[in-house]
Amino acid sequence: MYTFLGGLLILISGYLFYSKYIEKQFGSEADKTTPAYAMQDGVDYIPMATWKVYLIQFLNIAGLGPIFGAIQGALFGPIAFVWVIFGCILGGAVHDYVSGMISVRHNGAGLSEIHGMYLGKSVQKFMRVLTVFFCVIVGVVFIAGPAKLLAQLTPNTFGVMFWIFVILIYYFLATILPIDVIIGKIYPLFGAALFFMAIGVGGSIIFKGYSIPELSLTNLHPQNVSVWPMMFITIACGAVSGFHATQSPMMARCLKNEKDGRKVFYGAMITEGVVALIWIAAGLAFYGGVPGLGKIVLGKAGPAGAVFEITRTLLGPAGSVLVLLGVIFCPITTGDTAFRSARLALAEILKYPQEKIKNRLVLAIPMFAIAVFLTFVEFPVLWRYMTWLTQAYAMVTLWACSVYLYQKEKNHWLTTLPAIFMTAVSISYILQAKEGFKLQAGFSNVVGLAVALFFSALFYLKMKKSNSVCLEKALGE
């Protein structure tokens, strides 16, 4: 119990104090005109109330991630608390804030464009293709699942294909209509529901007398899965997730004031960390520890079964409604913004203005035609690659943030240290995972660390060379 409550206090303190230091280092300015006003177009660039932008950002980056990932991460035992607490404050929230604010400073630029500005054109070209592909795949994956659940809950007349069609229509409208028409209206409601579901579960665990395990650094995973690097990949949302940076430019285009960036980007990530911490505690406490939790999560019921049983038992009929809301609508709200992000990325790549509906349709129609085709493809292996890609995205984005901070003569170690860590995690994982090269774990971990150190040296040399060029120009003038 003390570990859990202490973790919540540390997360809140991270927002109250550390985020202000990060904001100071970045140098946000209250009187600087944001893209929402400078480029206002009534479609993607629209000034919105800060509380709305915060809740939309929270739902954009969260969805089911901090629930399912946390439940699976809890199988490692209470050590998962450590990763969520410190990963969120020192890694994920810093990643989200700095990358989001860089987007604000560059007129709401997309992630691959930011990579190009600070890591070079070669990285930009690769990340452009990968970002569009990634966003479309994420959107497609979150069509079939919710459609199957809706088909089970409605009369036989409304089968899976009917609901796939309905969800695709919704995705299409959310992708092409102004952001305040659909997303701006329903996202705050779903974001609040997701948060209050976690608060209800957390409160019930505490006040109904469940025993939450205290901190232990012992790996308790029932299948003896190693903590390094597997836990850091399993728990992405709630700690560090590169997918967040693909979504942040949408809100960077709606932010009224740069000073609101701390609430929106850093604050939303801390909120997600709170949700993840609650679900780790709930999984361990409700089932009496890892063995009980493992039986359901690793069985046929899976994480969804655990979430449904916990919420229904702790919150009663209201809990069942919230579960349905989460399991069905949270994936849908991830899918629609993924498609919208893909459209925005394509528009940037092609330098194709999006004010006119005709222009949006030119990009959206072919994209959704491909999505319809992909809906009929099985994605079990492909999606496992996506879990790795989220952390690989974080790795690349953190390095880009480090270059930005270095060039601005700020404390680049704020993002460089997390970048080194995530590089080691990402490389170690893909080398040994069954979705990757299936190499021996010890060898993979050594190579992962070596690559992280190599990237560190490359970063140092690049910055040193950049300083030399700047000095030569200054002397020449």
DSSP 330-348: HHHHHHHHHHHHHHHHHHH
Distance CA 333, CA 171 (A): 9
Type of residue numbered 354 = Q
pLDDT at 262 over 60: yes
Question: Which residues, including other chains, have CB under 8 Å from residue 471's CB and lie 6 or more apart?
Answer: none
CB burial readout 439-456, b (16+ within 10 A) else e: eeeeebbebbeebbeebb
pLDDT value at residue 305: 86
Q: Which of 153-167, 324-338, 347-361 has the highest mean pLDDT?
A: 347-361
pTM for this prediction: 0.94
Q: Which of 107-121, 305-319, 370-384 has the highest mean pLDDT?
A: 107-121
- Exposed/middle/buried for 268, CB within 10 Å: 0-12, 13-18, 19+? buried
- The confidence band for 384, taking pLDDT boundaries of 50, 70 and 90, is low
pLDDT value at residue 472: 45
Radius of gyration of the chain (CA): 22
Q: Which of 262, 270, 383 is nearest to 13 (CA)?
A: 270
pLDDT at 139 over 70: yes
Q: Which of 249, 290, 222 is nearest to 60 (CA)?
A: 249
Q: Point out the least confidently predicted range of 181-185, 287-291, 381-385.
A: 381-385
- The confidence band for 469, taking pLDDT boundaries of 50, 70 and 90, is very low
- The confidence band for 28, taking pLDDT boundaries of 50, 70 and 90, is very high
Which domains, from first to last, does the chain contain? Answer: 2-379 (1.20.1740.10)
pLDDT at 244 over 90: yes
3-state secondary structure (DSSP) of residue 95: helix
Distance CA 106, CA 39 (A): 11
pLDDT value at residue 142: 81
Structure-token match 């990009």, residue found: 363
- Please count the other Cβ atoms lying within 10 Å of the Cβ belonging to residue 477: 5
* Average of per-residue pLDDT across 431-437: 89
Instruction: With beta carbons less than 8 A apart as the criterion, state whether 398 and 412 touch.
Output: no
3-state secondary structure (DSSP) of residue 55: helix
Distance CA 102, CA 400 (A): 10
Question: Which residues, including other chains, have CB under 8 Å from residue 192's CB and lie 6 or more apart?
Answer: 55
User: If you average pLDDT over every residue of the chain, what do you get?
Assistant: 91
- The confidence band for 432, taking pLDDT boundaries of 50, 70 and 90, is very high
For residue 447, what are the CA distances in angstroms to 110, 342, 352, 439?
31, 33, 42, 11
pLDDT at 476 over 90: no
The encoded tokens of residue 474 equal 């200054």
Query: Read out DSSP for 246-274?
Result: HHHHHHHTT-S-GGGHIIIIIHHHHHHHH
How much of the chain, in percent, has pLDDT values that exceed 90?
Answer: 72
pLDDT value at residue 264: 97
pLDDT at 109 over 60: yes
* Average of per-residue pLDDT across 382-398: 82
- Exposed/middle/buried for 330, CB within 10 Å: 0-12, 13-18, 19+? buried
3-state secondary structure (DSSP) of residue 107: coil
Residues in the chain: 477
* Average of per-residue pLDDT across 466-470: 59
pLDDT at 182 over 80: yes
Q: Point out the least confidently predicted range of 134-148, 210-224, 245-259.
A: 134-148
- Which of 421 and 187 is assigned the larger pLDDT? 421
C-alpha torsion 467→469→475→477, nearest 10: -120
- Which of 374 and 72 is assigned the larger pLDDT? 72
pLDDT at 402 over 80: yes
pLDDT at 251 over 70: yes
Instruction: With beta carbons less than 8 A apart as the criterion, state whether 364 and 176 touch.
Output: yes
How much of the chain, in percent, has pLDDT values that exceed 70?
Answer: 95
Q: Which of 61, 131, 56, 55 is nearest to 92 (CA)?
A: 61
Question: Which residues, including other chains, have CB under 8 Å from residue 61's CB and lie 6 or more apart?
Answer: 96, 237, 241, 243, 244, 247, 248, 268, 269, 272
The 10s digit of each residue's pLDDT in 288-312 is 999 999 999 999 888 888 988 998 8
- Please count the other Cβ atoms lying within 10 Å of the Cβ belonging to residue 380: 6
pLDDT at 367 over 80: yes
> % helix / strand / coil in the chain, to the nearest 5?
75, 0, 25
The 10s digit of each residue's pLDDT in 158-180 is 888 899 999 999 999 999 999 99
* Average of per-residue pLDDT across 88-99: 98
Distance of alpha carbon 280 from its chain centroid, rounded?
18
- Which of 221 and 142 is assigned the larger pLDDT? 221
* Average of per-residue pLDDT across 241-255: 94
pLDDT value at residue 383: 54
The 10s digit of each residue's pLDDT in 438-454 is 999 999 999 999 999 99
